[in-house]
Amino acid sequence: MLEIKNLHVELEEEGKQILKGVDLTVESGQVHAIMGPNGSGKSTLSYVLSGRDGYTVTDGEATLAGEDLLEMEPEERAAAGLFLAFQYPVEIPGVGNMTFLRTAVNAQRKLRGEEELSSGDFLRLIRAKAKTLKIDADMLKRPVNVGFSGGEKKRNEILQMAMLEPKMCILDETDSGLDVDAMKLVSEGVNALRSEGRSFLVITHYQRLLDHIKPDVVHIMADGRIIKTGGPDLALEVETQGYAHLLNEEA
Amino acid sequence: MALPQQKLDATGARLAAMSLPEGGAWISEARTSARARVEAMGLPHRRDEYWKYTRPETLVEPGAREASTFETYEPTVFGEIDRLKIVFVDGVYDAEASDELSLAGVEIEPLSEAGAKDIHWARDLYGVLETRGQSPVERPLAALNTAYAADGMVIRVTGKAEKPVSLVYLQESTSSDAIFHHVVKIEAGADLTLLENGPAAARLNKVMEVEIADGGAFHHVRTQGRAHERRAATHIFARLGKESVFKSFTLTVNGALTRNEAVIELTGDDAVAHVAGAALGDGATGDFHHDDTVFITHDAENCESRQVYKKVLRNGAVGVFQGKILVKDGAQKTDGYQISQSLLLDDDSQFLAKPELEIYADDVVCSHGSTSGAIDEEGLFYLRSRGVPKDIATDLMVIAFVAEALEEIEDEAIAADVLSRLESWLQRRRG
Ligand SMILES: Nc1ncnc2c1ncn2[C@@H]1O[C@H](COP(=O)(O)OP(=O)(O)OP(=O)(O)O)[C@@H](O)[C@H]1O
Ligand SMILES: [Mg+2]
């Protein structure tokens, strides 16, 4: 599904290198987790994959189902099936959540050559999905993320994901800021989407989330590279021992 | 004080090319004295402080510059609103194309007819509010209008108008130079919604004087013609009585030059005046220079005024805002608010703002702010990451940006109509 080879990325302005050769392959239907110390480049990786400005890829490649991601505009990546649940969802005053999501769903359908959803169908769909995530109908009417609590923003990300039905979902610290119940809700939302043709890359600092969303593979990222890959046990190891011994192993 | 020679010459040249229209005694008097005011003030010159950001030459020179007429195959704005439609073609009232001038709660008469009479109630307003508005800042183009306007509508509202009065301004000639003047008198407790749309002429000079008696309400919504080459100088002079309400909103897209002045005086306690505008300009399809100049005077207690102006500029478009709140001695408990903002979609576009407060009362709340900024890149990326193409994402943010001004339109159906105009303008730009 997602294939990243030797990806090197610099900050466009400062020329500072952040990713120093990332190799990562996520098979179709799998859930991979990435853990790693603060500042190791996890969010940068997710931004570069989704096409945010400000980064220069100096080497390497990234493909989604065989298509070169790095050549595409952000909206084309989304239409190709990539979705990033932001670590810090953006507030957009004046743009209604509902308008935004309907525009997004229909724009993707159009780019894929599918028929647009009627407003009635859209409404029914979003109401049903919002309900399972315990998102208030009122929140849907408000401007995108404006005045949402930290946890509400994260739930809103998952609602968008559920509406857009992407093939490759990247979740950047979706668990941070969630209370215990919300974490369960969000995990259930994610698990409900797990399927043959859909993969997940879950960035997290905590084993807790991985109790709910069981990963097939766990990667450790440090200083811009994947330094270790293993099974679910690797996350437990981090939980109890931290990163120090892994970093030393590496050195 | 003697006028500078250049000003004298320009004013002389313009006046020489015109003659005062025929009319009854009352209007002839008003016209003659207006003409004398123009001669005394001189027409605007680019060195005038009040014209620092907008060059007045093309509004002042004797003839109108050519402006292609604009054809649209879309349904026009307000078409779905139940209204009394009054049509002007190149600034001249077209009775045949208009509805019958009869509406419950309202008396309507063309200025040409009212002016032909020897005496008319409009005498107490025509050129009167304009004259009051000449101080402390001169507005010579408005005096020019009072002197030479041959047409317009004279409207007296005695009750709640049954439906909106809609003035539709068509342009047929590429060189039409229209000067027209409306007078609106809202009697105590009466209520009118006035709609205006269309390019009107290659060059337009329009004045509207509005007097609102105690407890009256006047709602004004206009969209200014999409014709690219048209030029317009418009003035609204309003005087508000006790507990009266004045709300005006203008949507402007396209137009080589637009100067919209609003001069509002709150003279009765507890009156409310809101003026708002959204202007969207794209220099790629022709010059775009849009100037909102507002002067609000608080001369009574406990009044509220709001100015909300938003401009979206791209490809070298220019936006200007000059807005003043004057709170006179004794106008206690004044609540004044003014915001002017521009969204610059590129580095070529420009927004020039001059917000001013002048306050002589001690118990008032006045706030004003002016900002100029680019589109929020974070927000744009967020929308795009969900699959919304860049141009649509930009438009969503543009609509969000002007929303505060649009919210000043009270009637929901009219607001929705104006919004859909704006959306289709944006959509056309996307191609
Ligand atoms: N725009 C930027 N300007 C300057 N430095 C940046 C920028 N973006 C990222 N960095 C730096 O790049 C490094 C990687 O940041 P990134 O956000 O990818 O880390 P992370 O692994 O997601 O960390 P965390 O676990 O704290 O979320 C950090 O040192 C960060 O300061
Ligand atoms: Mg991060």
Ligand nearest the Cα of residue A85 is 2
Tokens of B294: 């507002």
Closest residue to A74, CB basis, from B378, B379, B384: B384
Instruction: With CB atoms and an 8 Å threshold, state whether A104 touches B403.
Output: no
Q: Are strands B191-198 and B217-224 parallel, antiparallel or unpaired?
A: parallel
The mean per-residue pLDDT over the stretch A97-108 comes to 91
Nearest C-alpha to atom 26 of ligand 1 is from which residue?
A38
Nearest C-alpha to atom 7 of ligand 1 is from which residue?
A11
**From the CB of A41, is ligand 1 less than 6 Å away?**
yes
**From the CB of A169, is ligand 1 less than 6 Å away?**
no
In chain A, pLDDT over 70 holds for what percent of residues?
Answer: 99
Tokens of A30: 């799998």
**Torsion region of B165: left, alpha or beta (phi above 0 gives left; psi -120 to 50 gives alpha):** beta
Does residue B422 belong to any structural domain of this protein? no
**Other CB atoms within 10 Å distance of the CB of residue B214:** 17
| Amino acid present at B187 | E
Handedness of CA B147, B151, B152, B156 (dihedral sign): positive
DSSP state for residue B62 in the 8-state scheme:
S
Residue of A nearest to B390 (CA): A75
Total domains in the fold of chain B: 1
Instruction: Give Cα B146 distance to the centre of its chain.
Output: 16
Closest residue to A50, CB basis, from B385, B388, B397: B385
pLDDT tens-digit map of A29-68: 999 999 999 999 999 999 999 999 999 999 999 999 999 9
Per-residue pLDDT of chain B (431 residues; tens, 9 = 90+): 688 999 999 999 999 999 999 999 999 999 999 999 999 999 999 999 999 999 999 999 999 999 998 777 667 899 999 999 999 999 999 999 999 999 999 999 999 999 999 999 999 999 999 999 999 999 999 999 999 999 999 999 999 999 999 999 999 999 999 999 999 999 999 999 999 999 999 999 999 999 999 999 999 999 997 889 999 999 999 999 999 999 999 999 989 999 999 999 999 999 999 999 999 999 998 899 999 999 999 999 999 999 999 999 999 999 999 999 999 999 999 999 999 999 999 999 999 999 999 999 999 999 999 999 999 999 999 999 999 999 999 999 999 999 999 999 999 999 999 999 998 889 888 86
Distance A43 CA to ligand 2 centre (A): 4
Instruction: With CB atoms and an 8 Å threshold, state whether A107 touches B387.
Output: yes
Does residue B211 belong to any structural domain of this protein? yes
Residue of B nearest to A50 (CA): B385
pLDDT tens-digit map of A124-134: 999 988 888 88
Looking at beta carbons, which residues of chain A come within 8 Å of B379? 90-92, 95
Q: B131-137 long-range CB contacts below 8 Å, 24 or more apart?
A: B131/B37, B132/B237, B132/B239, B132/B265, B133/B235, B133/B237, B133/B263, B133/B265, B133/B295, B134/B37, B134/B41, B137/B50, B137/B295
DSSP state for residue A198 in the 8-state scheme:
B
Nearest C-alpha to atom 28 of ligand 1 is from which residue?
A39
From the CA of B374, how many Å to the nearest CA of chain A? 14
Instruction: With CB atoms and an 8 Å threshold, state whether B376 touches A92.
Output: yes
pLDDT at A6 over 80: yes
Distance A199 CA to ligand 2 centre (A): 20
**From the CB of A51, is ligand 1 less than 6 Å away?**
no
Q: CB contact, 8 Å: B380 with chain A?
A: no
Q: What is the mean pLDDT of chain A?
A: 90
pLDDT score for B66: 93
Q: Single out the residue of B317, B310, B314 nearest to residue B287, CA to CA.
A: B317
Looking at beta carbons, which residues of chain B come within 8 Å of A104? 383, 386-388
From the CA of B120, how many Å to the nearest CA of chain A? 48
CA–CA distance, A141 with A162 (Å, rounded to integer): 18
Q: CB contact, 8 Å: B382 with chain A?
A: yes
Tokens of A194: 């797990």
A173 CA closest ligand 1 atom index: 27
Closest residue to A160, CB basis, from B379, B386, B390: B386
From the CA of A243, how many Å to the nearest CA of chain B? 32
**From the CB of A18, is ligand 1 less than 6 Å away?**
yes
Residue of A nearest to B405 (CA): A94
Does residue B425 belong to any structural domain of this protein? no
Radius of gyration of chain B (CA): 21
Ligand nearest the Cα of residue A18 is 1
Complex prediction ipTM: 0.94
A141: confidence class by pLDDT, cuts 50, 70, 90: confident
Instruction: With CB atoms and an 8 Å threshold, state whether B384 touches A53.
Output: no
CA–CA distance, A31 with A36 (Å, rounded to integer): 17
pLDDT score for A242: 82
pLDDT score for A161: 93
Tokens of B292: 């909102």
Which of A11, A52, A247 to mutate to test ligand 1, by most ligand atoms within 8 A of the CB atom?
Answer: A11
pLDDT score for B225: 79
Residue of A nearest to B397 (CA): A95
Nearest C-alpha to atom 5 of ligand 1 is from which residue?
A11
Which domain range does residue B150 map to? 5-375
What burial letters (b/e) apply to A157-196, b meaning 16+ CB within 10 Å?
A: bbbbbbbbebbbbbbbbbbbbbeeebbebbbebbeeeeee
pLDDT score for A243: 82
pLDDT at A251 over 60: no
Looking at beta carbons, which residues of chain A come within 8 Å of B382? 86, 89-90, 92, 144
A173, A225, B362 from A84: Cα distances, Å: 11, 20, 54
Q: CB contact, 8 Å: B74 with chain A?
A: no
Give me the architecture of the A2-250 domain, per CATH: 3-Layer(aba) Sandwich (3.40)
A104: confidence class by pLDDT, cuts 50, 70, 90: very high
Q: Single out the residue of A237, A242, A241, A85 nearest to residue A175, CA to CA.
A: A85
